[in-house]
Amino acid sequence: MSRSDIIQAAAQIFRKKGFHATSMQDIANAVKLQKASIYHHVESKQEILFTILEDALNLLIGDMRAVVDSDLKPKEKLRLAMQVYVGRLTGDADLATVLLLEYRNLEKKLRTRHSVRRDRYEALWRKIIEEGVDQGVFRSVDISIATFAIMGVQNWMITWYREGGRLSALELSDNFSELFLSGLLVEK
């Protein structure tokens, strides 16, 4: 039994029941240990949550840096970024759901630390849109709003996406990026 086994089991239960509704006993049962034994591996329930969030965010930041630093055009960067992000959200739903929903339950100090890093992540998305506007391929939209919109569409997936649905992750992300790039209206 390793620390990461516990973290992973916790993520799964946090996702299903939420952080506060999950007891340390629940986690202990999942890894077939006594509750006390868990404290040999982790400091506290808060630390478990924090670790889950950090791990998830690190993964995403790595993904995004690669896309932003590539020499693709803004349009392709956006498409690729969405492919990768949707892939992560659908691929590890436990991690994703906890990341997006449960960070609220971090105590203040840890939450602040996490928010800083999350803002840094979102700034990478912002950069892609800025680039597109600067190069004249994107209309001069409000950058912040566009970023929020793009994050929102994708993040909200965690509330409705179910594995084995009608569309694959790739089809979903392509639908999204097409929608964002071309809009709903037919050509004028």
Partner DNA sequence: GTTGAACTACCGACCGGTCGGTAGGGAAAA
Partner DNA sequence: TTTTCCCTACCGACCGGTCGGTAGTTCAAC
Is 33 a binding residue for DNA by CB under 7 A? The answer is: yes
CB of 136 to a second copy, least distance (A): 7
Name the binder of 33 from DNA, a second copy, none, CB < 5-8 A by kind.
DNA
Distance CA 173, CA 86 (A): 6
**Rounded-to-10 torsion of CA 40, 43, 45, 49:** -110
Answer yes or no whether residue 120 interacts with DNA by CB under 7 A.
Answer: no
Is residue 153 close enough to count as binding DNA by CB under 7 A?
no
CA dihedral 54, 56, 57, 61 (to 10 degrees): 130
Could you say which of a second copy, DNA, none residue 91 binds, taking C-beta under 5 to 8 angstroms by partner kind? none
Angle between helices 3-17 and 93-101 (to 10 degrees): 70
Is-contact 3 45, C-beta < 8 A?
no
Q: Pick from 12, 14, 29, 46: which binds DNA (CB under 7 A)?
A: 46
Contact positions vs a second copy (CB under 8 A): 18-21, 75, 78, 101, 104-105, 129, 132, 136-139, 141-142, 144-146, 148-149, 151-157, 159-160, 166-167, 172, 175-176, 178-188
Among 8, 18, 30, 41, binds DNA (CB under 7 A): 41
Between CA 174 and CA 126 the distance in angstroms is: 19
**CA-CA distance, 30 to 42, in Å (whole number)?**
15
In the complex, the residues that contact DNA under the rule CB under 7 A are 1, 22-26, 32-37, 39-41, 44-46
